[in-house]
Amino acid sequence: MVADSSCPLSELSLQLWPESEADCERAKQLADQLQLSICPVGTDPQQLGDVAMLLSVGSQGLALQQTGPKAPGPVRVDFLAGAVAHRRRFGGGSGQQIAKAIGIKPGVRPRVADLTAGLGRDSFVLAGLGCEVQMVERMPVVALLLEDGLRRAAFDPEVGEIIARMRLYQGAASQWLEDCDPHPEVVYLDPMFPHSSKSAQVKKEMLLFRTLVGADEDADELLELALAKAEYRVVVKRPRKAPTLGSRKPSYSLEGKSGRFDIYTLKAMK
């Protein structure tokens, strides 16, 4: 997801939340870094009315937590368990649509720049298939979640080799594209799609991201920059019935049940 970091985090009604006394020092460091205030230890997220979200600091790492009655559970980056681990083991390997869209085939593992990294799940899939992946995330809080997840997984005997193929840049994707050398072979974009009131209830992760960063208003511009910098192709992940970015017709698309990949080919991949 691309996030507009021009909005101060304090305006997003976000606070740090140490889960125990042992976490207070780390919470203070992050509060100073992000210029946020700190909730007292023992705060009940469901009882808060004037704070929309908490960045919790605890034994399981960092997590984003919505507040208020019936708030969903915390969202954290975890490359070792849950849906991410299940997909690594049973997700279909190089037969997955994302692998086909990126151009993975026998003997070909392109260098990929994921300019809308979000929680890093697609980057992890591609790195697990052997690609070197540069992740770019310009929302500081989301980048911290990613950094925390990478750190906790780096020394795991099963996934450490995958994590070693993932790098993180916190900042604007446009700036990274201007400075990158060499240029990425493939650029991958998964911009936040504007929420429709008619759509079904979204996952808690997407609901949280919409609350935190809103829609990606500059996605069309980012596609144009990506097309100017990518060596072989640009891949855009979209909801199945969503319009193309910038009304640009892709070279071809791969469509699934709920989503699709629009592929813009620039030259044949070696």
Q: Give the tokens for residue 8.
A: 């101060």
CB distance 187 to 209 below 8 Å = no
**Distance in angstroms (rounded) separating the CA atoms of residues 165 and 156:** 14
Torsion angle in degrees (nearest 10) through CA of 123, 161, 152, 62 = 0
Residue keyed to tokens 């994707």: 173
For 106, residues 6+ apart whose C-beta sits below 8 A from its C-beta are none
Q: Which residues contact 115 (CB under 8 A, 6 or more apart)?
A: 2, 136, 173, 176, 177, 187, 188, 189, 222, 226
- Binding-site residue ranges: 121-122, 137-138, 190
Annotated binding site for S-adenosyl-L-methionine: 121-122, 137-138, 190
Cβ pair 65, 45 in contact under 8 A:
yes
